[in-house]
Amino acid sequence: MLQFELLATEGQARRGRLTLNHGVVQTPIFMPVGTYGTVKGVTPRSLEEMGAQIILGNTFHLWMRPGLDVLDHFGGLHGFEKWPRPILTDSGGFQVWSLGEMRKISEEGVKFASPVNGDKLFLTPEVSMQVQTVLNSDIVMQFDECTPYETKGHITTEAEARFSMELSLRWARRCQAEFARLANPNALFGIVQGGMFEHLREESLAALVEMDFPGYAVGGVSVGEPKDDMLRIMAHTPHRLPAHKPRYLMGVGTPEDLVDGVASGVDMFDCVMPTRNARNGHLFTRFGDLKIRNARHRSDERPLDETCSCYACKGTTAPDGTVSGGFSRAYLHHLERCGEMLAPMLATIHNLHYYLNLMQEVRDALDAGRFAAFREQFRRDRARGV
């Protein structure tokens, strides 16, 4: 089940409401990535407290571990990881791409050796749909080939990008047929491919729209291409998708990418950047990025971001007035330098809160009809520096 309501627009930017089997998602939205059935470094309760409405799971990795028998025993991914809200699962296409020379792609699917135990496996559009049906994710992604920016040491040619895009279209039809055969009650999204070629993107988009998916994603970006090429495709493609259906930009990106993506008509984003960067001491703030390992933070009493209300920056107040949390840059610097587990945990809480709060501010600005003004202020604030 999927219902999408368009509540407001400003230019190409959209404010919407997405209703799925496990709840309502206000858009534009950022979706934290939970590859193995957990968003690294945070509890499900923390995710709910910071305003996460929908999270991701990874079809490829969950198929490897814990396996379909365990996931089926728990009634799917929601029951297994104790997350009551919507979940989106990717199809495994990106993970297959990342295997590089370890996989062999054919018309039927992809043969590869399991990175867990070496077993020889065959992932097809039908298998991807079967796995995602067991996962019972609210949004299922079609199995596609993620067109690389470089192929065998050279920049992917138009002919190579076309071959890949057309293969993904044939796989999309097979996904749709298998999804229907399985009577999956959730929603299946198609994925626009075409590499860095606008006319191929338009061909892919037109064919997928004709298939009438409940929602659409733009894939094959942030796969090693120069930033200008990514921005070019991001500006070109999303607003050409049907206005009455949700639009998802896969694997993007920085705070600036999210705000620019909204301006280009994107409704949904995901990226490992806030969690991965947190584990490396790289923090996002309203006033620019901060590297907490730098010596200049050694005795700094300030929080990471004085405007942030997350547990790491502001803490929480108990009914008796007792405040817990709200840590200094100096303390976080100390934890990082000592290799303490709490350092990436607090950093992850902060970064995810920052991304989710940024999307809340975007939604508020769209509700008030002031997104353009918000975007300008956002740019000025981020350029100011910490």
Choosing from 138, 267, 270, 305, which is the catalytic residue?
Answer: 270
Choice among 69, 90, 228, 305 that is catalytic = 90
**What is the torsional sign of CA 264, 377, 50, 58?**
positive
CA dihedral of residues 58, 59, 65, 70 (deg, nearest 10): 120
- For the question of residue 257 being annotated catalytic, the response is no
CB 244 within 8 A of CB 218: no
- Residue 147 has which token pair? 């067109």
Amino acid identity, residue 279? R
Whether residue 270 lies in the annotated active site: yes
CA distance 210 to 192: 12
**Catalytic residue numbers, as ranges:** 90, 270
